[in-house]
Structures are given as structure tokens and as C-alpha cells.
Amino acid sequence: MTLNRRDLLKLAGCTTLAGAVPPVLAKSKSLRILMLGGTGFIGPHFVDALTAGGHKITLFNRGKRDPEARAGIEQLLGDRNGDLKSLEGRDWDVVIDNSGYTPNQVKLSTDLLKAHAPHYVFISSIAVYNDCQDPPIDESHKLAPIGDMPQDKLNGDNYGALKVLCEGVVQQAYGKRACIIRPTYICGPGDFSDRFTYWPVRVSQGGEMLAPGTPDDPVQFIDVRDLADFVRRCAEKRIAGTYNLCTPPRWATMGKLLEESRRVTGADTKFAWASTEFLTQNKAIDGGMWASQEIPIWAPPTGESVGHSLMASARAEKQGMKFRPLETTIRDTLAWHKTRPADKQKLRAGLAPEREAQLLKLLKA
């Protein structure tokens, strides 16, 4: 039997413990929802949450990453960089934009849709913040400067600034009808970035394991299903404003993440804690405020990155944001990872075994 990507996500979701997830959202009036994107990692989870609410979903994308839309889900083909013809002359109740990366892309969609959809939910990022000083970092924190950078193409270095510009386009077009969502690291079943996945997978392998910083260092992330539930809530309640989407400050620490992973997997893993100085000296992390590819999610809780994992979540919580237990995210992520094809089992983030062995040797010395 061949399993497609959505089958794998459903299989992973079936491992969730009964009663270990937030209460099921009450159904509201059925809405016509246009999703700009809808494929990749987070899109299918959005579709799951919205269809569970009885809403009618239309996906707009190029049809390349997920050409066979789920039965009952309308799919319109086009390109955000100029071909929006399939959206013309149509009306929706809500637009959910999880694929806007340049201001021109977002302006094309808002110009066309602002008279045909009264509510616009834009998925942004905490990368919009200028720095991580003076935590907790709330939604009023200073935004990244635009500077002299290309605005028509994403190149990695300009990701946060482009999201700032995209937010501005949405707010100008929709005003008080706009909802801006700024997630931190999104994790859970289907996360092909492996930034969260690395930690429970590595713990499950046992033996001596390099751990960054101290057990008390805060880390933050958001389970993709909790994000999807909040997006559904924003659509149904017409929630407007700007919201950080992350677990509450100090809800999780590096020690809690590793210890819970060890408990869930039953592994005999022993943690060797490496200081910020050691990791910097051996180029496992750099001087920037964001986590590195070798040491994902965690960043030094001092200096430029002091508030990296201390984003404020209170505003979203007041609007009904809920968080499933860490154990559930770990267990379901591991279950999903085990279903991945062999060529996807090599993680895209985290320390390679040889590199970890080298660092452990240096740490002991």
C-alpha cells in the first residue's frame, strides 16, 4: 500500500492520546474561505481544522506541490506573481494567506480581494522583530528595518523585512479587518524543516548526546495543529489585530524538551551540556540572534538573543489560543517521522553523528 502525504499526517495524528489535546472547537456558521497556498507543511493542517468546522475551502496555488486536492476541496490554479485570473469575480468570507513573501505578491491579492472578502488573515513571522532585546517581546516591539534590500525576491537575509512590508500592505488594504499572525518555530507532524524533530529523534537514539546551554534555558515553538486551530478561530470570530503565536514564555525549557523526549521514548540518553562559549568557539552557533542549523530552536539566552525564546503570547491567549501538551507534540512528531520514506530519514537540521562525536570529544577535553 502506498501512502500519500496526507495519509501520513492522519496516521501521525492518530497517535495523540485521548484527552491530551485542546477541547474541540464548537462549529460555527459555514464560511467560504479562500486559502492562498494550502500545500506544503502548514496548509493541510489548516484545511483539516477548517473542514472540521464545516467550512467550504478554496485553495489557490500553482498546483505543483500538491496537484491532487482533497475531495470536496476546490482548487484554483494560478501564480501569485501575476496570474490571479482564476480569483476574479468570486466572493469569499475570509482569506487566509500563508504564502505571501513579497509585498508585490500580497498587494496583488489584497487589491483584487478587498472588495470580495471582508476579512484577511495573514501568516507572518516573529522574524519581523528588529532584535530580541527587553523581553518578553510583545506585538508592539520595534520591527526590522527595511534598508536597501531587494523587495521582489526572497533571499534569506531579507525574510523578516519582507514580512514587515507584507504586513503593511495587508493593514493598509484591510485596516481593522486584518488579522496578522506571527508564529515562532512551527513544529509537529509534517515539519520537513526538522528543527524541532531533531531533538526527540536524537534522544530516541540513546547514548551520550550534546545538549546546548543549560536545562533552564527557555525554548519556544508552536504545534502546527494549535496554530491551525487558532487560525480557524480567527476566521470564525472575525478576530482582527496582530498576534504572536508561540507557547508562553518559559512554558518549555531545553531541559524539559529533552527530558520529556527521553520519557516518551524510553531511551537511555545521557545529556552533556555545552556552554554558549564552547558552542561559539567551535562554530556550532554564530553571533546572530537566531538559532543555528546545527543547534536548532535553542539560542543563547543572553546578548542579542536574550529574548529569542521569550516572545509574549498573552494577546493570543486572550483570544482563545490553546496549547496541547509537550508530550503530545513529541509523540506525534516521532510517529510521523517513522512513516517518512527512507530518503527523508536524514534530518535537515541538527548535528550530524560525526559532528556531534567531534564536539563531545572536545567537550570532554
Return the domain boundaries, the chain.
5-364
Please determine, for residue 349, whether its predicted confidence score (pLDDT) is greater than 60.
yes
CA distances from 292 to 162, 213, 283, 300, 316 (A): 21, 13, 10, 11, 27
Please determine, for residue 346, whether its predicted confidence score (pLDDT) is greater than 80.
yes
pLDDT attached to residue 64: 65
Quick one: pLDDT band at residue 281, thresholds 50, 70, 90? very high
Q: What is the pLDDT of residues 93-107, one digit of tens each?
A: 999 999 999 999 999
- The residue-averaged pLDDT of 208-221 equals 98
- The residue-averaged pLDDT of 195-220 equals 98
* Residue located via cell numbers 496582530: 242
pLDDT attached to residue 15: 38
70-104 burial, b if ≥16 CB within 10 A, otherwise e? eeeeebbebebeeebeebeeeebbbbbbbbbebbb
Please determine, for residue 2, whether its predicted confidence score (pLDDT) is greater than 50.
no
Q: What is the pLDDT of residues 54-73, one digit of tens each?
A: 999 999 998 765 545 577 79
pLDDT attached to residue 165: 97
The DSSP element (H or E) to which 17 belongs, if any, is: none
Quick one: pLDDT band at residue 303, thresholds 50, 70, 90? confident
pLDDT attached to residue 10: 40
Furthest CA-CA distance within the chain: 69
pTM of the model: 0.91
Q: What is the pLDDT of residues 126-139, one digit of tens each?
A: 999 999 999 999 99
Asked whether 137 and 311 are in contact (CB, 8 A), the reply is yes
CATH architecture of the region 5-364 = 3-Layer(aba) Sandwich (3.40)
pLDDT attached to residue 211: 98
pLDDT attached to residue 63: 78
Please determine, for residue 286, whether its predicted confidence score (pLDDT) is greater than 90.
no
pLDDT attached to residue 279: 97
Compute the Cα dihedral for 336, 224, 81, 101 and give only its sign: negative
Average pLDDT, the chain: 90
Q: What is the pLDDT of residues 25-34, one digit of tens each?
A: 666 799 999 9
CA distance 84 to 76: 9
Cβ burial of 271 (10 Å; 0-12, 13-18, 19+) is middle
pLDDT attached to residue 14: 38
Question: What dihedral angle (degrees, nearest 10) is formed by the CA atoms of 248, 252, 254, 260?
Answer: -160
Please determine, for residue 289, whether its predicted confidence score (pLDDT) is greater than 80.
no
